């Protein structure tokens, strides 16, 4: 029987080596190792043998099975490699040809609006500044003249970091160095810029901010842009002109009407809210119109408070400035007709395809910042 098995082994390995393709190789596998295969039948006979016969014949039959299985695996690898080499040799890709289709991905409206803002303010001489999203209590509140008792500092409005609070309470660090919260606005970037740069300063600070709030027009994480100008002889008139120029360029209309209302912010004095006029078109609010049907609040602004300038080591009698801030998400909603803020962060591909922008829609003032 041993001689017969050796002959069987040579015959099967020869057939495997001679297989010209994967289909022929699969036929060899089924003939040898399939449910009705020759080797499978031999393995079934082991149960009928005596222990002594099984001790002798078992290793021989198992060795035959392993030899055939290894031969099939090696031949399969050889055939697949030869097929791949032939495919690579026959296929060519001309990289100079134009793409068959436009990119499938889209630019998120928030990213698009950020690019639009950067383009508009760059034309006005503003630089883009950034800062950490995990902030200190001093940069986020104290340096901005926000009192210890101000509601904005409350736990139900601000996301505090327990480790930061513990470090400060233990006296291991002061409020200027202990990162203890997620920034509630991008105003800390203004503080860091005034501390690190000498005036004159003209920056915008776009980025993510965090507050404990969630509904159709509020989310726990949202995007905000703030602007800051520090120079000599700055007045409220400079602020008004800057905001009018910005809003007209952003909405791409010359018939924009702004209204300034007195307000209060701890970090500006005087403080003003900015409303933009809208007209009703088929029941929807459309920004613009020489004779507005109503007003929409879009941002807060004002002259930088003396205490804020002093906190940054500058002389408020020599340097003055203005600041403004608005929600990027809300600007996107207002400009592109979205009525709910929550889908901005749902990741729904259908929403992104509808409201997203082409990667080639790069905002420029000459070609238009919008879609």
Nearest to 211 by CA among 187, 194, 178, 177: 187
- The string over 293-305, giving b where at least 16 C-beta atoms fall within 10 Å of a residue's C-beta and e elsewhere, is eeeeebbbbbbbb
3-state secondary structure of 361: coil
Bridge-based pairing state of the strands 201-210 and 127-128: parallel
Enumerate the β-bridge partners of residue 332: none
Please tell me the distance from the alpha carbon of residue 102 to that of residue 206, in angstroms, as a whole number: 29
Q: 249: Cβ–Cβ under 8 A, 6 or more apart, which residues?
A: 120, 123, 365, 369
Please tell me the distance from the alpha carbon of residue 334 to that of residue 225, in angstroms, as a whole number: 15
Please tell me the distance from the alpha carbon of residue 324 to that of residue 225, in angstroms, as a whole number: 8
Nearest to 136 by CA among 156, 161, 169, 170: 161
Enumerate the β-bridge partners of residue 274: 260, 299
Bridge-based pairing state of the strands 294-304 and 284-287: unpaired
Binding-site positions for Mg(2+): 269
Please tell me the distance from the alpha carbon of residue 230 to that of residue 199, in angstroms, as a whole number: 6
3-state secondary structure of 240: helix
Please tell me the distance from the alpha carbon of residue 312 to that of residue 321, in angstroms, as a whole number: 13
3-state secondary structure of 303: strand
Please tell me the distance from the alpha carbon of residue 273 to that of residue 265, in angstroms, as a whole number: 10
Which value, to the nearest 10 degrees, does the dihedral of the CA atoms of residues 36, 38, 44, 46 take? Answer: 180
Binding-site positions: 269
Three-state DSSP string of 311-323:
HCCCCCCCCEEEE
Nearest to 76 by CA among 11, 13, 8, 26: 26
């Amino acid at each position: 029987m041993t001689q017969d098995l050796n002959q069987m082994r040579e015959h099967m390995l020869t057939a495997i080596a001679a297989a010209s393709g994967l289909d022929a190789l699969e036929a060899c596998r089924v003939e040898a190792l399939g449910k009705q295969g020759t080797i499978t039948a031999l393995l079934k006979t082991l149960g009928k043998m005596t222990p002594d016969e099984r001790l002798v014949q078992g290793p021989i039959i198992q060795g035959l099975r392993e030899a055939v299985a290894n031969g099939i695996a090696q031949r399969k690898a050889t055939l697949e490699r030869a097929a791949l080499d032939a495919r690579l040799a026959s296929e060519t890709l001309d990289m100079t040809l134009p793409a068959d289709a436009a990119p499938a991905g889209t630019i998120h409206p928030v990213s698009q609006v950020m690019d639009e803002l950067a383009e508009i303010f760059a034309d006005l001489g503003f630089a883009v500044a950034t800062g950490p999203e995990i902030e200190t209590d001093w940069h986020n509140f104290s340096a901005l003249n926000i009192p210890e008792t101000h509601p904005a500092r409350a736990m139900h409005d601000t996301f505090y970091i327990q480790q930061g609070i513990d470090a400060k309470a233990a006296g291991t660090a002061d409020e200027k160095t202990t990162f203890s919260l997620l920034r509630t606005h991008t105003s800390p970037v203004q503080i860091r810029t005034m501390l690190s740069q000498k005036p004159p300063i003209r920056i915008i600070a776009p980025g993510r901010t965090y507050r404990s709030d969630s509904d159709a027009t509020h989310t726990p994480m949202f995007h905000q842009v703030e602007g800051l100008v520090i120079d000599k002889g700055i007045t409220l008139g400079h602020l008004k002109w800057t905001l009018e120029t910005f809003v007209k360029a952003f909405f791409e209309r010359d018939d924009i009407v702004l209204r300034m209302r007195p307000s209060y912010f701890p970090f500006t004095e005087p403080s003003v809210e900015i409303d933009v006029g809208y007209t009703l078109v088929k029941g929807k609010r459309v920004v613009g119109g020489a004779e507005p049907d109503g007003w929409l609040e879009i941002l807060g602004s004002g002259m930088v408070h003396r205490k804020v300038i002093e906190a940054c080591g500058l002389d408020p009698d020599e340097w003055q400035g203005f600041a403004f801030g608005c929600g990027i998400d809300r600007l996107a909603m207002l400009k592109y007709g979205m009525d709910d803020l929550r889908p901005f962060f749902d990741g729904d591909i259908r929403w992104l395809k509808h409201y997203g922008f082409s990667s080639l829609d790069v905002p420029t003032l000459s070609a238009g910042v919008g879609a």
